[in-house]
């Protein structure tokens, strides 16, 4: 052997330990014997000072758990426990699995209804069966094009009011009179506001009245009628908000004591610089019913985001049409005889069936409008505040639900109806009743006019009597 290759030197003690390990490996199960040369036990762990060798050199210590020799005596019940569903459980259990199970059961049950519907009625979808009259399309287009005319009239009214306000302010400075202590200036402002309010009221109401009469008497397709009526109601609410907001801004211009009440956001476009056609046109398309001279804006437009939202809105609209034609329509048609015969058990059974498909259609419509369509419109307009709804599905009360599921309408009601009435000394209950009546009239127009069936939709809005005092 070459003298440069020396064998590793082992002491007598190490050789004895290695021999004992070899004997133990042959007599004992493999799980209680380590494969290393040197073993040390610390709290049930095995520490090896020579666990692995690379080219004859130890790489370092290694620790691993030793299994017990007696597997049948492990202490399974070592301390007191309570059932996870008991009141005294230490940790709150998660019901995510039950939720997933209920979703699966719900999907399976509705799939059964889908199969049953096709077996009973076949395919009821028919595109050519819809009565798209040329007259309905032309009238709907004319009603849509009339809206800019009423908006232009609102702009002219506010332009005249702003001119009058600037003239009054100039005269006050010229003659060094103080408008705050001038009863004549106060009376002049009140007279001007009454004239402007009447002009705005006639303009907005004429727009809504013409649309409602045209839809009710001349437009027979419910979808075209609904779109026209919804647009007219939205524009009517926007003109009202435009008039009320500019009235307060004009008052603050003439009464410097109230300038501090104006939000800091409005300083970027103070009154009367906001009275422009571009400002009003932006408000017309903005996804809000509350007018502000300035809105929070985004820096860029994300076109892929818009494409996704429009695809969602289109897909959900098709789904709503299919669900209504294939499932809701025949079920409603079969329910008419049961309702007419006052067969209470059958009426209850039909109502339960209708509630399922109605809920599905409502949820699809909610997502298509408030999540998809409004977000796409907000992205196009670079509208920053996109809280069109909050977590209404977690509402602890009916009042909270009505305040959270439709934020644009809630903001209009609170800002232009409830808060001004309470500020004038009305009780919260009386202001809430006024909001209830207003909401009922709007729903009557929205549902009764396009369907040519005004049968008291106002009464169905009892649940919409929001407790506005809970602010």
Active site amino acids:
443
Chain centroid offset of residue 65 CA = 53
Instruction: Specify the pairing of strand 62-65 against strand 45-48.
Output: antiparallel
Q: Residue 215 in contact with residue 258, Cβ under 8 Å?
A: no
- Give the C-alpha distances (Å, rounded to integers) separating 327 from 110, 122, 315: 11, 11, 18
CB 154 within 8 A of CB 280: yes
- CA of residue 163 relative to chain centroid, distance: 41
Question: CA angle at residue 85 from 83 to 86, to 5 degrees?
Answer: 65
- Comparing C-alpha atoms, which of 383, 227, 220, 231 is closest to residue 317? 227
Place of tokens 């002219």: 156
Tokens of 44: 């049930």
**Helices 277-285 and 374-381: crossing angle, nearest 10°?**
160
């Amino acid at each position: 052997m070459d003298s440069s290759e020396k064998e590793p030197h082992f002491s007598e003690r190490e050789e004895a330990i290695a021999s004992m390990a070899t004997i133990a490996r042959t007599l004992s199960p493999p799980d209680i014997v380590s494969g290393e040369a040197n073993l040390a036990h610390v709290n049930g762990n095995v520490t090896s000072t020579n666990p692995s060798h690379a080219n004859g050199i130890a790489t370092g210590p290694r620790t691993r758990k030793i299994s017990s020799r007696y597997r049948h005596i492990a202490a399974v019940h070592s301390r007191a426990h309570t059932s996870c569903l008991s009141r005294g459980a230490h940790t709150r259990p998660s019901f995510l699995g039950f939720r997933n199970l209920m979703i699966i059961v719900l999907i399976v049950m509705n799939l059964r209804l889908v199969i049953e519907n096709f077996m009973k009625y076949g395919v009821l979808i028919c595109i050519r069966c819809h009565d798209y009259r040329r007259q309905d399309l032309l009238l709907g287009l004319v009603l849509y094009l009339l809206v800019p005319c009423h908006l232009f009239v609102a702009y002219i009214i506010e332009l005249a009011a702003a001119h009058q306000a600037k003239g009054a302010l100039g005269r006050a400075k010229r003659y060094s009179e103080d408008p705050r202590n001038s009863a004549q200036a106060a009376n002049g402002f009140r007279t001007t506001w009454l004239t402007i309010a009447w002009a705005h009221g006639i303009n907005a109401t004429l727009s809504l009245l013409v649309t409602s009469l045209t839809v009710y008497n001349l437009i027979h397709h419910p979808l075209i009628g609904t779109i026209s009526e919804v647009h007219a109601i939205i524009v009517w609410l926007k003109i009202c908000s435009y008039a009320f907001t500019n009235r307060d801004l004009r008052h603050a211009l003439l009464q410097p004591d109230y300038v501090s009440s104006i939000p800091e956001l409005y300083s970027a476009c103070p009154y009367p610089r906001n009275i422009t056609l571009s400002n009003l046109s932006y408000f017309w398309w903005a996804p809000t019913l509350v007018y502000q001279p300035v809105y929070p804006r985004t820096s860029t437009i994300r076109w892929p985001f818009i494409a996704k939202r429009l695809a969602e809105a289109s897909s959900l609209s098709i789904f709503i049409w299919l669900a209504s034609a294939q499932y809701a329509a025949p079920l409603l048609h079969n329910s008419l005889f049961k309702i007419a015969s006052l067969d209470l058990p059958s009426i209850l059974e039909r109502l339960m069936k209708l509630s399922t498909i109605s809920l599905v259609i409502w949820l699809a419509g909610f997502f298509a409008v408030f999540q998809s369509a409004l977000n796409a419109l907000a992205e196009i307009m670079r509208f920053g505040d996109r809280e069109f709804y909050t977590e209404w599905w977690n509402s602890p009360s009916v009042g909270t639900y009505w305040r959270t599921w439709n934020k644009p309408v809630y903001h209009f009601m609170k800002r232009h109806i409830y808060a001004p009435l309470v500020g004038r000394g009305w009780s919260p209950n009386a202001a809430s009743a006024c909001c209830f009546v207003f909401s009922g009239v709007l729903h009557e127009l929205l549902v009764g006019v396009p369907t040519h069936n005004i049968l008291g939709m106002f009464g169905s809005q009892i649940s919409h009597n929001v407790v506005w005092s809970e602010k």
